[in-house]
Amino acid sequence: MLQSPVLTALNHLLAQADWARGRLRPFAGRQARIELPPLPTLSFAVDEEGYLRSTEEGGADVSIILSALPLLALGNPEQAFKQAHISGNADFADSLGFVLRNLRWDFEEDLSRLVGDIAAHRIAGLLTGLFAWQRETAARLGENLSEYLAEEQGVLLRPSEISAFTDDLNQLRADLARLEQRIGRLSR
């Protein structure tokens, strides 16, 4: 159900990235399975050209279980793959993981086929600027909220305050240990 569109999209990205197909070609005929609960399992094999072909679930050479769907949805595949459980052939898993982490869509190239090179470049620049603005705005909002909660409301502690508290606590422990030693010497 979901496998065919996903493989079509991945193959489209692979068509734009010769380096990725070159990295997968040595593993022609090998099968892989990617599980991303609650989505259906994705089973595929690498063909001689480095593209992915659908296969039936079964004896996979590599199994990757990703449990970080929110990280993928937020566009952070690196973090998602750090939390993945990978089993099977190490070389194939390494190459497959590298390709999946670093494969990027060149939307400007696809857009240029519809509207031309100049318009696609301008639209891509506009969209890139818009997304950068949104990321920057979200970062500033987070910084302002944390500053408000730390400075105005006193709900959060600044790192310097936590560090000072930790230093005071360590000093208190050392003083207590010295006091216990003195008491022990006096009681003897």
Distance between CA 186 and CA 13 in Å, rounded?
77
Return the H-helix or E-strand segment holding 26: none
Return all residues near 32 (Cβ < 8 A) that are at least 6 apart.
Answer: 43, 44, 45, 46, 60, 61, 62, 63, 64, 88, 92, 96
pTM: 0.59
Question: What is the structure's pLDDT at 94?
Answer: 85
Buried b (16+ CB within 10 A) or exposed e, 55-80: eeeeebbbbbebebeebeeeeebeeb
Q: What is the pLDDT along the chain (188 residues), one digit of tens a residue?
A: 567 888 888 888 898 888 988 999 988 888 888 888 777 788 888 889 889 998 877 778 888 887 766 555 456 566 666 777 788 888 888 888 888 888 888 777 778 888 988 988 898 889 888 888 988 998 899 889 988 888 888 787 877 888 999 999 999 999 999 999 999 998 88
> Phi, psi at residue 44, to the nearest 5°?
-155, 165
Phi-psi category of 16—alpha, beta or left, where left has phi over 0 and alpha has psi -120 to 50?
A: alpha
